[in-house]
């Protein structure tokens, strides 16, 4: 096979060791290679970098093994061209697996250009990802604490959650009074605010229980934990808002081929990017505003999405490529003319989880295209498949919004009916005729009332 990289290396990365194999192509197709093991401390990784640069290695490939690739990547970044490769794509022959053999196999695949690099965003975007992912972890942890608080209330015969949310403003005032020793249900019910005051009698009945000092201690602990998590979430949100301004088109674009292409191909602008050369440079705030026009997406979700995919859509060949990378596109599994399981690929877990939440919110919309798509598919394919399909549609919409820098244009909840207007009318007529009615269709002007006087 043709040799594409004359000087390259393959790394087999572990927690405590890194096995490196450097390869140098010589005359008449011969090659010289050398393998050596290094530790994973900073000093030992710098020694490995010096060892690689002795031969002038220009490209280095390694597996994306958990979090262990990050220290190696931090040292090599900016010094050589790094290809972080999915371990699924570089499996060697079974039964011949050792650390040395793995590093030699990775180097051989890289030498012939048979590896496809995963997308590793630049440092500012990686930092933003860490912040948004940790904020999501804090939100999930807060929900877990609220659930534990609810268990304490149930153990004390307090049915507060049957009347209002245990995390609401009124519930917080009531719980704080209970921690301070107030036990009169009528007095506690008077702390209700807003529309909950109309349910004071029901609330007083729900607050009648067997609260003991043991329960008060647990409630106080959970409330303090929730306050701490709220403070941390607010701090992370402020930091994320400040870091969003560092995302710019061009600065977040990796110096490697677009996703979906093989490693040796050169990076050239996609057709979508070529048509957008006359557009102004997209800022992070503008991107958040564009995504906020899509049903189901608020600022928090927009920040998570942009932290995962960035602002520059030219790194993806098409909207379908972005959907596949996100883990929202059907898989291809066909043999002998038969299609087998079409399960989606793993993709980006964080982005996939976020898009599922967005799809659930969009499905609850009123008179929107996405809600109509969900109900149309859920009736035939089930709710879970419908959510994945809606999430796929939203990620495609995001691609085009960021590429064209245009806000979302709503098609309406009757979009699918308007596409096949006659078929819908005929189907409804047949259903009425089966019920014994005689139907005569008469078109009504748009906006006119159809209710008889």
Res. 249 pLDDT band, cuts 50 70 90: low
7-118 shares its CATH topology with 125-244:
no
Are 326 and 348 within 8 A, CB to CB?
yes
pLDDT, tens digit (0-9, with 9 covering 90-100), for 100-116: 999 999 999 999 989 98
With a pLDDT cut of 70, the percent of the chain lying above it is: 90
pLDDT, tens digit (0-9, with 9 covering 90-100), for 9-37: 999 999 999 999 999 887 776 888 999 99
Question: pLDDT higher for 16 or 262?
Answer: 16
Are 353 and 157 within 8 A, CB to CB?
no
pLDDT, tens digit (0-9, with 9 covering 90-100), for 172-219: 999 999 999 988 999 999 999 989 999 999 999 999 999 999 999 999
The CA–CA distances, whole Å, from 212 to 158, 192, 216 equal 11, 22, 6
The CA–CA distances, whole Å, from 200 to 164, 186, 209, 375 equal 11, 8, 16, 38
CA atoms within 13 Å, Cβ hemisphere of 38 = 23
Is pLDDT of 254 > 60?
Answer: no
Fold entry, domain 7-118: Nucleotidyltransferase; domain 5 (3.30.420)
The first and second tokens of residue 242, run together, are 């400040």
Are 86 and 64 within 8 A, CB to CB?
yes
Domain spans in the chain, listed from the N-terminal domain onward: 7-118, 125-244, 271-331+345-404
Q: Give the number of other CB atoms < 10 A from CB of residue 234.
A: 12
pLDDT at position 258, please?
41
Assign domain 125-244 to its CATH architecture.
Orthogonal Bundle (1.10)
> Mind spelling out the 3-state secondary structure of the chain?
CCCCCCEEEEEEECCCEEEEEEEEECHHHCEEEEEEEEECCHHHHHHHHHHHHHCCCCEEEEECCCCCHHHHHHHHECCEEEEEECHHHHCCCCCCCCHHHHHHHHHHHHHCCCCCCCCCCCHHHHHHHHHHHHHHHHHHHHHHHHHHHHHHHHHCCCCHHHCCCCCCHHHHHHHHHHHCCCCCHHHHHCCCCHHHHHHHHHHHHHCCCCCCHHHHHHHHHHHHHHHHHHHHHHHHHHHHHHHHCCCECCCCCCCCCCECCCCCCCCCCCHHHHCCCCCCCCEHHHHHHHHHCCCCCCHHHHHHHHHHHCCCHHHECCHHHHHHHCCCCCCCCEECCEECCCCCCCCCHHHHHHHHHHHHHHHCCCCCHHHHHHHHHHHHHCHHHHHHHHHHHHHHHHHHHHHHCCCCCCCCCCHHHHHCHHHHHHHHHHHHHHCCCCCCCCCCCCCCCCCCC
Structure pTM? Answer: 0.83
The first and second tokens of residue 417, run together, are 């009916």
């Amino acid at each position: 096979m043709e040799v594409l990289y004359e000087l390259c290396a393959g790394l087999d990365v572990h927690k405590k060791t890194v096995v490196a194999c450097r390869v140098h192509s010589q005359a008449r197709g011969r090659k010289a290679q050398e393998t050596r093991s290094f530790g994973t401390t900073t000093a030992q990784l710098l020694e490995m970098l010096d060892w690689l640069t002795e031969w002038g290695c220009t490209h280095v490939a390694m597996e994306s093994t958990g979090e262990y690739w990050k220290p190696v990547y931090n040292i090599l970044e900016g010094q050589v061209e790094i290809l972080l490769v999915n371990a699924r794509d570089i499996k060697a022959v079974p039964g011949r697996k050792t650390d040395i053999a793995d590093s030699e196999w990775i180097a051989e695949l890289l030498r012939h250009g048979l590896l496809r690099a995963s997308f590793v965003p630049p440092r500012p975007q990686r930092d933003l990802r860490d912040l948004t992912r940790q904020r999501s972890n804090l939100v999930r942890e807060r929900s877990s604490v609220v659930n534990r608080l609810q268990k304490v209330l149930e153990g004390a015969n307090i049915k507060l959650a049957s009347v209002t949310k245990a995390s609401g403003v009124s519930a917080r005032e009531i719980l704080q009074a209970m921690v301070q020793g107030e036990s009169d249900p009528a007095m506690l019910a008077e702390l209700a605010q807003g529309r909950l005051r109309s349910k004071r009698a029901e609330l007083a009945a729900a607050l009648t229980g067997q609260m003991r000092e043991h329960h008060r201690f647990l409630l106080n602990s959970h409330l303090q934990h929730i306050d701490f998590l709220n403070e941390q979430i607010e701090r992370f949100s402020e930091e994320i808002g400040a870091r969003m301004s560092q995302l710019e088109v061009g600065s977040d674009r990796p110096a490697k081929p677009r996703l979906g292409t093989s490693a040796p191909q050169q990076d050239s602008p996609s057709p979508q990017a070529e048509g957008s050369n006359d557009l102004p440079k997209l800022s992070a705030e503008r991107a958040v505003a564009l995504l906020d026009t899509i049903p189901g997406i608020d600022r928090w979700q927009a920040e998570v999405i942009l932290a995962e995919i960035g602002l520059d859509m030219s790194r993806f060949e098409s909207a379908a490529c972005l959907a596949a990378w996100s883990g929202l596109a059907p898989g291809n599994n066909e043999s002998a003319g038969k299609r087998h399981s079409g399960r989606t690929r793993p993709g980006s877990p964080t982005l996939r989880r976020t898009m599922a939440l967005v799809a659930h919110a969009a499905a609850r919309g009123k008179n929107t295209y996405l809600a109509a798509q969900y109900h149309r598919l859920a009736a035939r394919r089930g709710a879970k498949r419908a959510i994945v399909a809606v999430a796929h549609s939203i990620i495609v919409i995001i691609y085009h919004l960021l590429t064209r820098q245009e806000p979302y244009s709503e098609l309406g909840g009757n979009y699918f009916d308007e596409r096949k207007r006659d078929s819908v009318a005929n189907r409804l007529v047949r259903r009425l005729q089966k019920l014994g009615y005689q139907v005569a269709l008469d078109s009504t002007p748009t906006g006119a009332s159809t209710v008889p006087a």
